Chain A
Amino acid sequence: MMNFIRGLFPEWAVEWPKNLNLPLNKWTNDFVEWLVTEYGVIFETASDAILVVLVGMERFLRDLPWVVVFLGVGALTFFSSGRKWGLTALVAACMFFIGLTDPRLWDLSMMTLSVMLVSTLICIGVGVPVGIAISRNDRMRDMVLPALDLMQTMPSFVYLIPAIMLFGLGAVPAVFATVIYAIPPVIRLTDLGIRLVDEDIVEASDAMGASKRQKLIRVQIPMALPNIMQGVNQTTMMALAMVVIASMIGTRGLGTEVLIGLQQLNVGRALEAGVAIVLLAIVMDRVTQAYGGRFIRMDGRG
């Protein structure tokens, strides 16, 4: 039966022709190679800069007595949430349990946290301006949004390979891959937040003779902040997920523990690290949300 059907067609219509092959694979490789040879200097400079910040952050967090970090995070939560005791207790408990699970995990958490913080800061530094730009320009928006869709749907592993090729192994390519993977929410929600600012209010600012810049800084960004913070929250969550995955290319941190656990079939070790990751995620989520909630309350709408 099948042979009969196959017999009805010429050979090229039966099996996919070998030479009908879009060499996307080769192109990409060539492109990355070309980038590295032509612009290697730029990548090295960027890499060095990121590394300096990263190492500084990591050393700082690891050298600080754990009690100080613990109390600092607690205080940050307490004040940015508008003095909510319950939330602060939850966050503090999570922090405490990270160390309690296994003392080694505290240091590893600080490493993961520093990669994540640096990535998130870069995401904000790049994402907010891009979001502002596309909120003002529909054509740019039509170009950027599909790119963001692509970045988010692509399996996150895919970013690791060009990251390695551009930056080698270690923490810097991890930051690079994390930024690409985690930046879309900040851009999207900045754009959305600015577009959602009440037209009347923008008009009021215009009517007073505010320049574009004054309007942006004094009205649009502050009013978009709850949304922007929502984006930052999502970005931190995605960054955390990516940092864990990025341990495959040599970032040290909680992800490494999971990886080692898997390789040694040491389920307990992997689980402990997994628990620490979850706890860290809860902490980051609550802290950024509490911080975002501030802006909603401030104008009395929350």
Chain B
Amino acid sequence: MYKIESKIKYAEGLYGIWVDAQYVAEKVEPGQFVMVMTHEKGERIPLTIADYDRSGKKIFLVFLVAGKSTAQLADMNEGDELFSLVGPLGKQSEIENYGRVVCVGGGTGIAAIHPIARSLKEAGNEVISIIGAKNKGLIFMEEDIRKVSDKVIVTTDDGSYGRKGFVTDALKDLLDNDEEEDIARVWAVGPAIMMKNVALLTRGYNVKTIVSLNAIMVDATGMCGTCRVTVGEETKLTCVDGPEFDGHLVDWSEFMNRLMRYKPQEKIAMDLYMKRRQ
């Protein structure tokens, strides 16, 4: 059903896969994701749709090995079939012609920011993209991002490629030099701590910032409530009301606490898998 058509290894633990998924490919818009199960006893995990081929009925997913489920996915190869895949889920990004926008992608967020940047560009925006990772090996899809951006800034934590430092450092420079104050919006997708720091930074400049929350999910149809998050004064469900929210309104400490809920069990699962795999 959901056959892996091809698999790309970007770096140790960082992969991209093209998967057969007719319904999803026909419908997907930027900002949306799928839920994936590698096998019958697996977890349902959310992955952002990084690219799609409507006529070829395929979607592209990029993932970082974070624990057992993603490790199992990494162990699958071309020709293998995923047990379950459903989508496209979540609200699509609000794409308009805002003028000048900045798209920030960190880690696997680089993949997620790609379709957003592309649509913003198609809508007539001037798109500045900032992509960052720990080191050179973890920068991927740079060419794809360049194709859809007017300007690209690459950062690495260790300085092995592009500018040394965090994506927020590069963003701060842009905002400081934005004398016309014409940066209309910022999108930020990446690890929670990165999105939080981007939101804290841009709040000081009063630039609206959209983040894509990677909450823990189960059904992703609004049925279980595990993905709830406080935005402004309200409780929202990330899977159906998001995953994109106004980063200035997210209760980050609650959100980050909730990401830690299953740490002990995640470790048990991963250790057991690694032992069996040997």
Instruction: Say whether A associates with B.
Output: no
Interface residues in chain B, defined as those with a beta carbon under 8 Å from any beta carbon in chain A: none
